[in-house]
Every structure is written in structure tokens, then in C-alpha cells.
Amino acid sequence: MTDLNEAIQFFESQPGMDKLFKLLRDELLTHRRIKGHVKLDGFSLIELESIAHFFQVSIDSLKIKGRVDLEAFNRKLDSPPFNGIDLTQLLEAYFDEKLLTLSTKEERSLYLKRLEKEFSLLKDWLAYLRTHSRDVRWIHDMIEESSHQFEQHVLYLSEGIRLLPSRPIRLSVFSQIITLDADAFQPSSPLGKLWLHVLAETKRLHAIEPIRLPENRKNEDKLLKEFNLFREDISDSVTVANLFAETQTGYHPMWEAAVHSRSVLTVPLREVIKLTAVYPAHETGIVYVVDDPELFTRILDEVPSIPMICTKEEWTCAIWEVFDRIEDSGFNIRFIGNFTPEGIVRAEELLLHYPTQSSTWRMDIPTYLKSRNLNEYLSDKDCELLDKHHLDYLACLKDEMRDRRQAGYLMNVADDLINELKTYYNK
């Protein structure tokens, strides 16, 4: 019985439920949330039997308790045959009226203050809503329409902030984790629009600044990307060379053909998620991850059989999906990045996610000293970025970069790198 109308018909047929629902509604309006209890004084034996049957308890135990808790009633609605019908939703449909509306600014301010205490991760955002500025009128309309529904949204928003991913993940997967609904956080939905508003608040530099929602899809994607969230999009892809892949039915013919023809393959996320395994097409069992697309091209020109992935100096969901499948297949990943704060951060993020199967290659002090650009200096802000992660693995290199305050680029030592790789792959 998942249909709300069917549930109403059921309760209308049960003795005493109309009387009980009126008491539940009054208690709900008193606390303005699903809280409290109602006494069963004045209920006849047949009415008590109906309520006991709903809770699946004996009439004697119900008489001893002498009351019905709103939270217990709501929990019971979460089990078959009702399967998740909310008590507020049920009462609103039963009485054909909106409950828990907050029509005045004072009511909404007190309501938001309570939410600030309960959801500390959203404290600044909720405080901003209490200013009642014109740009959040649409949110106050949501609260006025149903404060209960809005509070459910706030619960999901708080969980979303708590579980923000440290690596790129598809928005639908993230939404499924938080709400059990893959579409709930889509920007076109009420919750999705609130989610963008919360993320925009998080990006504010100062509390006096207004919160600005993205004006178009491109800016929505940009904001989501800053928090490692990606919509399924054909532009989210990974560029690979000399890698085999498998699906549930066996070898993937496109990847296999690319290996045999020495072709570079750019694969969108929608195709990557169909793969069950990815692994190098070489006996060394190593996949090189090259941050710089120009270096990737140079290496491939001279060492055409080397298994590689090009990140183009940014992570995508498709890249992480391929990394996961390489790890599951039992092979190793080696990162080759420039000696810039951004390159170091990306290297450390990879090491953190795959501590037993990833490492860096030629990201050492001697290579850094040879690759330095003597005309480019790191700012104080650049040096601060080096402190984003604290791994002993690259600690000495980062100290050297802080001391010299210079960036290094592997294209300056490309010939050295290529000559070394040739000894492994051009035999």
C-alpha cells in the first residue's frame, strides 16, 4: 500500500482513527514537528482494538501505555504496507489542509534559530536565511508552504555537507547515498536548488556578501565541480593509451582495437561505468598517469607501447572510475606531474586514495632542480597550497620548493624521461 489515497481509505474504514487523527493533528501543530503524544482517554473498546491492530500489539499493552506517540506512529508508517508515508503528509491529505505553515517573519525566524542549533553544519546558511533578504524570498515561500518538508530538505543538506566527497563522484551517485533518490540533488528539483544555494554560501569569502546562485547550467556545473560533484555528461571523459578493458561479456573490442592500432582513446563517463576491469597492455603491469597533455604526446611519440592516462591537469569522474578498475585488477599507477603546487596536490590526492598501488615517478629533488623555470616564482598563496596535504612521501620535495620558491616543468627534462622509459618499453 504505497498510494496515499489507499492509505487514507484504509484509515477512514478503521474505528477510532478519525478521532485519533484529530488529536495527532493538534499535537503536531503544538510542537510544529512530529513530537509528543496523545492520550487514549475516551476511546471505546472497538476503537482501541483498531489502534492496537495498527501497532500490532495487544489491546492490554495499549491500555497500560494509555497513549500514542507521534514518533512511534510515524515509524510504523515507514514499514509495510505503508512503506514510507510520512505522518505530516498523511494528516495533510486526510484533512485536506496544509499543516506546519509559518506565515509570519517572526515564526520563521524562531523556526530557523531552532534549525541552527540542530544542524550546526548549516549554521551560517540558516543565519543568512534569517535576514529575510529579497534574494531568499523563494526559500521562505518553501518554508511557509511546508516547514516540515523544508526541515526534511535541511536534514539532507546537512548530510550532504558532512559527506562531501574528497574525490570526484557523479551527482546522481552522491544523491543516492544521501537520499536514496538519484535525482533528488539535480539542480532542477527544489532540494537541488537549495543544495546549490548551500554550496554557493560555502564559497562566500565574507558573511556580508550576498549568496549568488549560478545563472546557467555551465556555472552550475562549475560550482558542483568545485565540490567534486559531476553530472553525467558526455564531456566528462578520460584519455588513455595502451590499456585493455573488459565488460561483463568479456574483452571490450574498442579498447582492444585501440591497443593494436596504437591509437589514443578518449572515453566518456557513460561508457566507462560499463567496464568491469581496466589494465595495462604491457607485461610491466604499470599505468603511467601524465598530468601534462604536451608531455603525454611527446612520450607517446617516442614510446608508443607505454600504457598511459592523461589527466589534462584536472580530475574527472571518468578518470577516477578507471583508476578504481585498475586498482581492482591488481595493477600499479605511477603519477608524473609538474613541480607546481597544483601538481603536487594532485599527486598527493592519488597517493591518499590508492596508498598501496600508487606512487610518483621522477617527482624527486634532482629532477625538480633540472626542470625549474628560473623566471617563474611561487607566491605566498602558492606555497600555502603545498600544505593542503601532509604526506611524508613528498615532504622533502615540498621543502625544497618552498625554499627556492620556483616551479618546475617536466617538459624541460622530457628527453631524459623519454630515454629512461625507452629502456623499459622499446626493447
Domains of the chain by residue range: 4-95, 105-230, 237-426
* Cα(15)–Cα(95) distance, integer angstroms: 17
**DSSP 3-state assignment of 239?**
strand
Backbone phi and psi for residue 45, each to the nearest 5 degrees, phi listed first? -60, -45
Question: Which parts of the chain have pLDDT scores under 50?
Answer: 1
Q: Of 334, 424, 339, which is closest to residue 386 (Cα–Cα)? A: 339
Topology adopted by domain 237-426: Dna Topoisomerase Vi A Subunit; Chain: A, domain 2 (3.40.1360)
* Cα(265)–Cα(325) distance, integer angstroms: 17
- The pTM for the full model equals 0.65
Q: Of 147, 317, 156, 296, which is closest to residue 227 (Cα–Cα)? A: 317
Quote the pLDDT of residue 101. Answer: 66
Quote the pLDDT of residue 107. Answer: 74
Q: How many CB atoms lie within 10 A of CB 268?
A: 16
Q: Pairing mode, if any, of strands 286-290 and 308-310?
A: parallel
Q: Is 312 exposed, middle or buried (0-12, 13-18, 19+ CB in 10 A)?
A: middle
Q: Which residue shows C-alpha cell 589494465?
A: 279
Quote the pLDDT of residue 340. Answer: 96
Strand locations in 190-261, DSSP E?
Answer: 229-230, 237-241, 243-247, 250-251
Return all residues near 335 (Cβ < 8 A) that are at least 6 apart. 288, 289, 291, 346, 347, 350, 351, 358, 359, 360, 361, 363
Side-chain-side CA neighbours of residue 299 (13 Å) = 32
